[in-house]
Amino acid sequence: MAAPVLETENLVKIYGRGETRFDALKGINLEIGKGESVAVVGKSGSGKSTLMHLLALLDGPTHGVVALEGRPTGDLSAKELNELRNSAFGFVFQQFFLTPNQSVLENVTLPLKIAGVPAAERKRRGLEVLEQLEMADKADNKATDLSGGQKQRVVIARALINDPSVIFADEPTGNLDSATSNVVEDILFGLNRDKGITLVVVTHDEDLARRCSRQVYLVDGQIVPSLEKAPGDAAPREEDRHPWAQQPSDATGPVRVAGPATGEVITLSQADAAAIARAAQEPARPGRHAAPAPSTPDQPGATA
Ligand SMILES: Nc1ncnc2c1ncn2[C@@H]1O[C@H](COP(=O)(O)OP(=O)(O)OP(=O)(O)O)[C@@H](O)[C@H]1O
């Protein structure tokens, strides 16, 4: 793996206390190399967004370390964290909506405004990045006067404006139709390939996850073995790749599987094992990524 841009050590996140205590992450050790594209996959409530928020320095862990470019971030002040996030990261999050009353250009250049960049320079860089995403002609539009796919391109433009080393994307295609999803994905993977921007994507979309160079599987706040083969391994046998798929279908107790990469024994609930087995074995939906992307991708009615 390339030098890690992000590393975590025994990352634990506990929400609440006493009777309402919930252990959302239970000791995550993860390295994300520069230029990787990593999909964080798992069922609802498994801790994907929590992990993404900790990696993106939007929230702090209860225990453990997140290091950016080899530098632990735990001791940084709120101001330092803000600056670091603003300069190193881009966000394609559905909850980071565009500001409706502002123009596309104002939305895209917001991170530069926060960083204190003068107006003329903001405009120059904003138009440049909108040009890259074929949205320069919409610079003066209100953010509301756009289709779903166009809004998502504006969000990506905003994520790019500070030349980030990592883009975090939380369900970046969640509300888009299939053709528009393809366009948005192509943009994100193009940035990864051509500019070496590291991508960390939380998604339920198996096709999008498969397009990433690595998948990180979360079950109940823990990483379970990914489906990629370990470095230097011979091609794994099917039963080694998906040991959970070998369980008898009428089994009711917890499923114990040996990780193909580490040999570590992990206990999964039947439901989690079945969900992972399904995700691992389902073929790609027909039609996705097969057809060339349309040149005018945005569909009326889609929302970002
Ligand atoms: N602020 C919070 N306070 C208490 N519990 C929380 C909080 N945020 C998340 N949780 C709990 O932590 C667990 C993990 O949440 P998280 O949002 O990371 O899951 P997720 O895998 O991203 O789910 P989804 O796919 O549904 O978005 C869930 O059980 C959730 O209810």
Residue 115: predicted pLDDT: 86
> Which atom of ligand 1 is the closest one to the Cα of 25?
14
Q: Is 22 in the pocket of ligand 1 (CB under 6 A)?
A: yes
Token match 């634990």: residue? Answer: 12
The enclosing H or E element of 184 equals helix 178-195
d(CA 171, ligand 1 centre) in Å: 15
Nearest to 266 by CA among 106, 27, 20: 27
Token match 């369980």: residue? Answer: 247
- Total Cβ atoms within 10 A of residue 137: 10
Residue 91: predicted pLDDT: 92
The pair of three-digit structure tokens given for residue 127, joined into one six-digit string: 């138009």
pLDDT-flagged residues of the chain (< 50)? 227-304
The CA distance from 281 to 265, in Å, is: 21
Residue 1: predicted pLDDT: 65
Nearest CA to ligand 1 atom 3: 15
Q: With contact defined as beta carbons under 8 Å apart, do 105 and 140 qualify?
A: yes
Nearest CA to ligand 1 atom 6: 15
Report yes or no on whether pTM surpasses 0.80. Answer: no
d(CA 25, ligand 1 centre) in Å: 10
Residue 274: predicted pLDDT: 44
Mean pLDDT score of the chain, rounded to an integer?
A: 77
DSSP 239-302: HHH-GGGGS-TT--S-EEEE-TTT--EEEE-HHHHHHHHHHHHPPPPTTTTTSPPPSS-PPTT-
Q: Which domains are assigned to the chain?
A: 4-217 (3.40.50.300), 237-287 (no CATH)
Residue 258: predicted pLDDT: 33
The CA distance from 177 to 90, in Å, is: 23
Residue 290: predicted pLDDT: 30
Collect all residues with Cβ–Cβ distance below 8 Å to 90 and sequence separation of at least 6.
Answer: 156, 158, 159, 160, 161, 162, 164, 166, 167, 168, 197
Q: Is 59 in the pocket of ligand 1 (CB under 6 A)?
A: no
